[in-house]
Structure 1
Amino acid sequence: MPQASLDLWPIGNCQVSGLIDNSAGLVWGCVPRVDGDPVFCSLLNGDKQDQGVWRFELEDQVSATQHYERNTPILITRLEAKDGSAVEISDFCPRFERDGRMYRPVAYARIVRPVAGTPRLKTTLAPMRNYGAELAKTTHGTNHIRYLIGDQSIRLSTDAPVGYVLEQRAYRVESDQHFFFGPDEPFHGNVRDEVRRMESLTRKYWRLWVRGLATPMEWQDEVIRCAIALKLCQHEETGAIVAALTTSIPEAPGTERNWDYRYCWIRDAYYTVQALNRLGALDVLEKYLTYLRNIVDNCADGLIQPLYSVMGDHHLNERIAEDLAGYRGMGPVRVGNAAYTQDQFDCYGQIVLPSAHGFFDRRLLRMADERDFASLEQVGEMAWQKHDQPDAGLWEFRTRSAVHTYSVMMSWAACHRLSVIAQKLGKTDRYDFWRARAEKIRESIETKAWVDDGKGGHYTAAFGHDYLDASLLQLAEVRFVEPDNPRFRSTLAAIETGLRRGDYMLRYATEDDFGMPETAFNICTFWLIEALHLDGRDEEARSLFADMLEHTTDSGLLSEDLAIDSGELWGNFPQTYSLVGVINCASLLSTSWNTIR
């Protein structure tokens, strides 16, 4: 079997998702939702890649080529054999409106179509249970196979020969074969007709969704692909947006920087809706604002965690999945994330910032009102109380804390935006109240986060320290300073000197809980590109952006990290942070649509 890689193609329907490798293997997929049991787990199963996988192979197969259908997450894989025989595989998770609601079952659909010669196909369908502890037990009927996975069963309904599938035996494919791996219930209707109808309606749904995006003129394909992937990271039932679809892909080889990202970080989700708002994808924002309102309602003490489950659960206890060897055998595989216990006080600002849209955007189905403002003021109160307190920071240090400038900046943003909302609502007294608090936090940053290093000075990553981190580049993005502010320009110069490595950026260059960082952090490189644009260095910014796009997978996506020397991708995939960077930079750097006149 080939070595596991991140050359993966996401499919999904905002209920379940899957990752297809470059030879038509479904190697990662969790049920009944993104943070569930990975029934397809061969991506993290070390050298046991024939377990926890759903793969189609031709006898004497020599090549596999892939592409998405335009403006959809429907994946087409062409497998070709030595004698020229070939099949095309269509992979998708059904998503379309039915009976007045969105049909998005816990299901994967696959269609195999013979397109040349007389192909002989072998199907390996070997789902696992309990994080790779054992293969799912099976029973079967004439046209279905039932797989027992934990306390539930999943049924494969198919018009392919069930015996050949069970025995993983190759057979000649002389007509289209249809597979529906979903709820354990009788499949209503003809499998062939129904799965084809699902494919057609799913195609229509996604193309209409993309049609509503306000894309930049340049890099449209790249932006559309990232936008679709970001939408697949939303759990539509609650509105939560996960940081990535995977767990425990190492940030760098052999470092044990392996984390479970299948949860909703308030920070990451803020950046996601910010990017999709640039494109006019209001459906994602609306659902996420509902998720935030539920989070705030359920925090009686006012304290907000940095992350929650997609269902809003508070407790995400971290453990090791002992039966999975890890990506390329590089364990551990973690389930849960202990960062939920940390203090990360930037989250208060990242609740207020996206919520502010609800008071201004007239396109929303539900505009925010005074009751929402009163609720947000409680969040702002916590931002004020915590703005000068030490926390773990956005990089989630596990063994030390400090008053991190980024966290304080987001507390400033919370108070500042509340004053803007109060002004919109005509609440003069609340405007004065929140503006005064914002100014006090500003004064604290300007005095306690600034050091004179004899080279013009710079803002620092934490009060009382002189080290840098890339989050300082966000000072202009949140409008704390103007891009031409001398202090910001001096900080940009210091960051380039201290953290830039050629065309890439480190998040920081000091030791953390696991030693010195070894890989570039992709969102930080995109933050640098944004800062260069704001500094008037567009030619350099465009060059760096083009280089980052060269590192995307064949599916057009990015993970969290990048090896500086080799350019290989590391970290969980697809990473929402990184996809946000593509969208934001394309929107900033693209030439105007007016140029085609």
Structure 2
Amino acid sequence: MKLALIGNCAYQALIDDRARVRWLCWPRFDSSFVFGNLLDEEKGGIFSVEPAAPPSQIQQEYLANTNILRTVFRTGEDLFEVLDFAPRFAQYERFYKPTMLIRRIRPLAGGPVVRVRCRPVYDYGRLQLEPTMASNHIYWKPPGSELRLTTNVPLTFVLEERPFLLEADAYLVLTWGRPLEAPLEETCDKFLRRTRRYWETWVRHGVVPDRFQRPVIRSALALKLHQYEDTGAITAATTTSLPEYPGSGRNWDYRFCWLRDACFTLGALRRIGQFEEMERFVTYLLNIAEQSPERLQPVYGISGESRLDERILDHLAGYEGNRPVRIGNDAYRQLQNDVYGEMIAALAPLFLDVRFQDLASTHSTSLLERLLARIEQTMEVPDSGPWEKRGPSRIHTFSLLMHWTGACAAARIGERCGNRRLAEWGRRLGARARDLIEKRCWRPDRGHYADSVETDDADAALLMMVNLGYLDPSHPHAETHVRALGERLRADHHLLYRYLQDDGLGETKASFTVCGFWYAEALARLGRVDEAEEVFRKLCGHANHVGLLSEDIDPETGRLWGNFPQAYSHVGLINAAFAISPVAGPIV
């Protein structure tokens, strides 16, 4: 997947290594695509900048420590670059983040001849929009809004897709809704400077490990773009319906907020010293908790929508011909009881970190107690487990692990805040969860904890028993558990399957990227640092040309599959990097 992610926490776009916008949903993460030829070459529209003659060389990279993308084309002696970015910077005590894509085309050598093509669509390709030329722009009319391309390129050349000699910087500004009404060149250059400064400052104010700094920074920048800042929701991935494996039919819409994924994303961002994302997510969580007083769903829409009914878009060909294309996700219907412990973990810094205690409102305290009550109520209630299998409900070990995690966090909060009742309640529930895990989930004949109280199967999510501190490295089960899971689930030396048993959806063929990082992290926490580093480096070797990872990796070809980029994969990379190479102390 030679795709690069840009965005500004209001929208995301994927641009391929030929400077084609392959994915852009407006005005929100979960809206219809405006450009979506990732899922259908004919119906997905096009927005490309390309040399008139076939290029002899193309290079693509991010400007260091930013989400600004640079693509350089060479054709013989002719050379030009395309800079793509979504404006984001501080303005009037808030962040300016318009639904605006800026593309700057700059000649670098010779006399490059360039062609621009811009054909947006809407309603997932059902609406082929008609362009209208105005005095200095072209506009299209999707339902309820306006798309406008403001440019200093002759409009006729754009409409007719006619090649032109690039003699000076050319600017293409595509907007949804409010157009750019300011001096074109001056405004674009100013937005570029301010956006670059914003990302460089955001990175500089974070924490990085002693080694592996570049992959950690790129992962952090990708995670940042998965928060829909308006509401605080954190999405699982940018795309929908990129299959886990060719022909598998496992094509899901990941443009929603899985509470579990969001919790671990926040943990990774806190690890690198970024906290504003947590503050925004807590607001999102408080809002969905108010509308869901009885139970939390595993996944919600980015506005907090509770219904995410799946629909199949039969008119789209699918990624490389892989159908179906789905929008919506029926996982919202499932029962996944681990979410209560994860949400306590997400809230915990409000109570345990003095820098955020002013944010611990009456609402968050009440929610904390409601979450702990739900842990007590659901401790032995069967659920679907973390992998959303379509089989029978069981009491899953991972859910018990997260019950333990949340209960222990609540106990710490009670101790810190002088709330004896909360502390004792948390300790009691933590002990109960541990007792269930030890008595009903450990399989001495297999050397690992099983995926549920009534089955014997291996589950890669249980590598988190070490990573979350449930199993201390000195625990007699710790190393045998990690080794046994690694052996049973290994697809390759460094690639692991999530599980091997039938999940009601067919055979599992692709390895799950984050599982390999969980394994590397667990090895490092057991003191097997050299082995962990070898696994980590091989996994990082699967990242694409700009350092991004998808959900799945084909163990036979090493090719990336699944939705892209996958937040969970980059969370795993960050956590494993810090486990292998902690933050360096001061030199003096």
TM-score normalized by the length of structure 1: 0.95
Distance 1:290 1:428 in 2: 27
Give the one of 304, 319, 327 matched to 1:327: 319
Question: How far did 1:371 drift?
Answer: 4.7
Distance 1:213 1:88 in 2: 30
Structure 1 residues 449 and 365: CA distance shift in structure 2, 3 A: closer
- Give the match's secondary structure for 2:356: coil
Indicate conservation of the 8 Å contact 1:121/1:170, yes or no.
Answer: yes
State the match for 1:567 in structure 2: 558
State the match for 1:496 in structure 2: 486
CA distances 1:364-399 after superposition (whole Å, capped 9, x unpaired): 384325552222110111121112111111000124
Distance 1:106 1:231 in 2: 17
Give 5+ residue unaligned stretches, structure 2: none
Structure 1 residues 178 and 475: CA distance shift in structure 2, 3 A: same
Distance 1:73 1:525 in 2: 26
Give the one of 272, 280, 286 matched to 1:287: 280
Give the one of 374, 382, 387 matched to 2:374: 382
Structure 1 residues 398 and 84: CA distance shift in structure 2, 3 A: same
Distance 1:32 1:337 in 2: 20
Give the one of 74, 77, 84 matched to 1:84: 77
- Give the match's secondary structure for 1:483: coil
- Say what the alpha-carbon RMSD is for the aligned residues: 1.6
Give the one of 269, 274, 281 matched to 1:276: 269
Distance 1:184 1:238 in 2: 20
Distance 1:367 1:249 in 2: 39
Give the one of 464, 474, 485 matched to 2:475: 485
1:125-144 equivalence runs, <5 A: 125-144=118-137
Q: Greater CA deviation, 410-419 or 31-40?
A: 410-419
Question: How far did 1:471 drift?
Answer: 1.0
Distance 1:519 1:375 in 2: 38
State the match for 2:305 in structure 1: 313
Question: How far did 1:187 drift?
Answer: 2.9
Give the one of 199, 210, 223 matched to 1:206: 199
Indicate conservation of the 8 Å contact 1:12/1:93, yes or no.
Answer: yes
Distance 2:411 2:82 in 1: 54
- Give the match's secondary structure for 2:359: coil
Distance 1:40 1:446 in 2: 51
Give the aligned residue type for 1:163. T
Give the one of 27, 32, 36 matched to 1:37: 32
1:85-124 equivalence runs, <5 A: 85-124=78-117
1:433-444 equivalence runs, <5 A: 433-444=425-436
Distance 1:40 1:148 in 2: 15
- Give the match's secondary structure for 2:2: coil
Question: How far did 1:335 drift?
Answer: 0.2
Q: Greater CA deviation, 507-516 or 164-173?
A: 507-516
1:234-383 equivalence runs, <5 A: 234-301=227-294, 303-364=295-356, 366-369=358-361, 371-383=363-375
Question: How far did 1:184 drift?
Answer: 4.0
Give the aligned residue type for 1:577. Y
Structure 1 residues 339 and 591: CA distance shift in structure 2, 3 A: closer
Structure 1 residues 39 and 536: CA distance shift in structure 2, 3 A: same
1:518-597 equivalence runs, <5 A: 518-590=509-581, 593-594=584-585
Indicate conservation of the 8 Å contact 2:286/2:363, yes or no.
Answer: no
State the match for 1:20 in structure 2: 15
Indicate conservation of the 8 Å contact 1:361/1:367, yes or no.
Answer: no
- Give the match's secondary structure for 1:112: strand
Distance 1:589 1:478 in 2: 15
Distance 2:357 2:97 in 1: 22
Question: How far did 1:323 drift?
Answer: 2.3
1:448 equivalent in alignment to 2:443: no
Structure 1 residues 589 and 190: CA distance shift in structure 2, 3 A: same
Structure 1 residues 365 and 374: CA distance shift in structure 2, 3 A: closer
Indicate conservation of the 8 Å contact 2:207/2:583, yes or no.
Answer: no
Distance 1:185 1:428 in 2: 54
Give the one of 29, 43, 68 matched to 1:74: 68
1:405 equivalent in alignment to 2:397: yes
Distance 1:399 1:25 in 2: 41
Structure 1 residues 209 and 187: CA distance shift in structure 2, 3 A: same
Distance 2:299 2:146 in 1: 30
Distance 1:216 1:590 in 2: 6
CA distances 1:349-376 after superposition (whole Å, capped 9, x unpaired): 1100011011122333843255522221
State the match for 2:408 in structure 1: 416
Indicate conservation of the 8 Å contact 1:56/1:121, yes or no.
Answer: yes
Question: How far did 1:153 drift?
Answer: 1.4
Indicate conservation of the 8 Å contact 1:263/1:308, yes or no.
Answer: yes
State the match for 1:181 in structure 2: 174
Distance 1:72 1:331 in 2: 34
Indicate conservation of the 8 Å contact 2:467/2:525, yes or no.
Answer: no
- Give the match's secondary structure for 1:80: strand
Distance 1:186 1:443 in 2: 61
- Give the match's secondary structure for 2:148: strand
Distance 1:95 1:429 in 2: 45
CA distances 1:16-67 after superposition (whole Å, capped 9, x unpaired): 110000100011010111111111100111x428x42210111113221111
- Give the match's secondary structure for 2:346: helix
Question: How far did 1:87 drift?
Answer: 1.3
Give the aligned residue type for 2:329. N
Give 5+ residue unaligned stretches, structure 1: 1-5
Question: How far did 1:592 drift?
Answer: 5.2
Indicate conservation of the 8 Å contact 2:27/2:176, yes or no.
Answer: no
State the match for 1:517 in structure 2: 508
1:54 equivalent in alignment to 2:44: no
Indicate conservation of the 8 Å contact 1:61/1:80, yes or no.
Answer: no
CA distances 1:531-574 after superposition (whole Å, capped 9, x unpaired): 11122211111011111111101111100110111110001011
Indicate conservation of the 8 Å contact 1:15/1:106, yes or no.
Answer: yes
Question: How far did 1:437 drift?
Answer: 2.0
Structure 1 residues 132 and 186: CA distance shift in structure 2, 3 A: closer
Give the aligned residue type for 1:411. H
